[in-house]
Amino acid sequence: MLIDEINRRRTFAIISHPDAGKTTLTEKLLLFGGAIHVAGAVKSNKIRKTATSDWMEIEKQRGISVATSVMGFDYGDYKVNILDTPGHQDFAEDTYRTLTAVDSVIIVIDSAKGVETQTRKLMEVCRMRKTPVIVFINKLDREGKDPFDLLDEVEAELQIKVRPLSWPIDMGQSFKGVYNIFEKKLDLYTPSKQTVTESVEFKDIHHPELEKYVSQTNADKLRTDIELIEGVYPEFETADYLKGELAPVFFGSALNNFGVKELLDCFVKIAPTPRPIQAEERLVHPEEEAFSGFVFKIHANMDPNHRSCIAFVKICSGKFERNVPYKHVRFNKMLKFSAPTAFMAQKKSVVDEAFPGDIIGLPDTGNFKIGDSLTSGEDLHFKGLPSFSPEMFKYIENADPMKAKQMNKGIDQLMDEGVAQLFVNQFNNRKIIGTVGQLQFEVIQYRLLHEYGAQCRWEPLNLYKACWIESDHPEELENFKKRKYQFMAKDKEGRDVFLADSSYVLQMAQNDFKNIRFHFTSEF
């Protein structure tokens, strides 16, 4: 039954600042799911955080990352889908898009470092979408910040209410374990990478038995801490978590496999099943009979001789079936897929059917771009795949006049894949590429050459922000565009974009043109 398949699915992403332990946690979750059998099997699409980027390394990793883009496994009655997000911040845009395809998120925080920049940014996206989040505070085997301070920090920095569902007993060298508030158990810590936590049922921590397991000092402290928690934090309500208003918090050590199973057990119980998704036309419910889905990621193939890609489709409603024709809405054309793949146990294999919450990979030769929808026939356009104002800008120039056609085609297709954003300056007609980081310029240059035989040259351009503008006052908008004609551009969809060269200029513009709205994402 469709409804049973939907109800057992949990599709989520793990997000963190680099080095907090995302890869380690992912790996331990896969171990529990039986998807891998030894630690160290997931190197993920981790691009090492070296100052100078090693491009060949990235190429190699791109190959690996197809396999680890989606990791599905069965856990008890549940089907868990973990969507991987690139660790390197230059690919943040990729991560934002992946977040549109998940129903919930686990945030990993390093107990010594607390909330870091990347976490803060990603949380903004979750907040915007009201994505339910669970926080895992990692590396308790090391000296870290005081747990109450960490909770305050999470609450203040991530702007979400928190509720601890486990509580650490000491930390670092003398870390003893956690009291599992969610399941009323005492989880005792033994440092080891492979063993599972030893758990003792413990309904009442005031019971003198507690001293059998931990020292008097630890027991006293735990009792006071728990009393304080019960006094200060509201009861945990799953509904508040599902609304994205309250984040349950767990403590543990991913490296030592401690607290991970508890996290997973709670996660499958409380995490949302595939949620309804907003299309421009209407809200689409997963249990609808008719199939629908959208492309949230395109992965280019490694083989430069065949420009083939994999389009990742998130299934929103109904059942997807192999070899059944579906409507490519932008093309208004029916297409059939003979080799859709699913990602189980790190292996890619052809599937005959897939359900809401699942991600399938469709081999593609340039039919798809990000945001495209596939349906049983209805015209649906899914919302929520915004572009964010890039942080870096450069003019892109053709360095080989004989290859102008290849160059234009290359730029077009790379932009459809979502590698970066293209703006065309309306004043001089020059093409501007906007990215989140330097690495993307290298990616574009390399791929233009190797996949399209085109050579590009970058020219510096000093811009602060690109913002999408709109107004209910057409005259004022026209006036603005006239006044700022040198700084007006169009994005790929032909929308008006203002290129502000400093924060001062932007502020002035906002002050002088009160009836114009300046947006920092393309969806408003």
Name the residues that contact ligand G4P, by CB under 6 A: 16, 18-24, 87, 138-139, 141-142, 253-256
Q: How far is the CB of 91 from ligand G4P (least distance, A)?
A: 13
Chain-centroid distance, C-alpha 33: 21
Phi/psi at 513 (5° precision): -120, 80
Strand order in the sheet with 392-398: 456-460, 392-398, 431-435, 421-425, 488-490, 496-500, 465-471, 516-519
Minimum distance from residue 114 beta carbon to ligand G4P (Å): 14
The encoded tokens of residue 260 equal: 């991970």
Of the pair 16, 317, the CB lying nearest ligand G4P is at 16
| Greatest alpha-carbon span in the chain | 83
* Least CB distance to ligand G4P at residue 347 (A): 22
**Structure-block tokens of residue 408:** 């234009």
Instruction: Quote the tokens at residue 202.
Output: 């413990």
Q: How far is the CB of 309 from ligand G4P (least distance, A)?
A: 26
For residue 280, how many other CB atoms are within 10 A of its CB? 10
State which residue, 119 or 387, has the beta carbon closest to ligand G4P: 119
User: Based on CB atoms, which residue is closest to ligand G4P, 18 or 384?
Assistant: 18
CB of 108 to ligand G4P, least distance (A): 6
Q: What is the C-alpha separation between 50 and 242, in angstroms, rounded?
A: 38
CB of 305 to ligand G4P, least distance (A): 33
Nearest residue (CB) to ligand G4P, 187 versus 451: 187
The distance of closest approach from Cβ of residue 17 to ligand G4P in the complex, given in angstroms and rounded to an integer, is: 7
List C-alpha distances in Å: 381 to 311, 371, 421, 465.
Answer: 17, 8, 20, 28
Would you say 18 or 453 has its CB closer to ligand G4P? Answer: 18
CB of 49 to ligand G4P, least distance (A): 8
How many other C-beta atoms can be found within 10 angstroms of the C-beta atom of residue 451?
A: 20
Please report, as a single letter, which amino acid is at residue 475. Answer: E
Beta strand ranges found along 127-193 (DSSP E): 133-138, 161-164, 166-169, 177-180, 185-188
CB of 229 to ligand G4P, least distance (A): 22
Is the CB of 246 or the CB of 254 nearer to ligand G4P? 254
| Nearest distance in Å: CB 456, ligand G4P | 31
Burial class (CB in 10 A: 0-12, 13-18, 19+), 446: middle
Distance CA 217, CA 472 (A): 66
- Structure tokens, 512: 């002088």
Least distance between ligand G4P and beta carbon 143 (Å)? 10
Residue 40 or 494: the one with the smaller Cβ distance to ligand G4P is 40
Residue among 252 and 293 whose Cβ is closer to ligand G4P: 252
Q: Of the two residues 45 and 425, which places its CB atom closer to ligand G4P in the complex? A: 45
Helix, strand, or coil (residue 270): helix
Least separation in angstroms between residue 25's CB and ligand G4P is 7
- For residues 69 and 256, which CB has a smaller minimum distance to ligand G4P in the complex? 256
> By C-beta, is 19 or 287 nearer to ligand G4P?
19
Q: Using only the alpha carbons of the chain, give its radius of gyration.
A: 25
Q: How far is CA 467 from CA 94, 253, 478, 488, in A?
A: 20, 42, 16, 10
CB of 87 to ligand G4P, least distance (A): 5
Closer Cβ to ligand G4P, 22 or 163, answer by number:
22
Bridge partner list, 457: 397
DSSP secondary structure string for all residues of 372-399: -EEESS----B---PPBPPSEEEEEEES
Cα separations in angstroms, 385 against 96, 98, 205, 360: 8, 9, 47, 18
> Tokens 């897939």, residue?
354
- Which is closer to ligand G4P, CB of 439 or CB of 461? 439
In contact, 307 and 27? CB cutoff 8 Å: no
Q: Which tokens hold the place of 278?
A: 């907003």
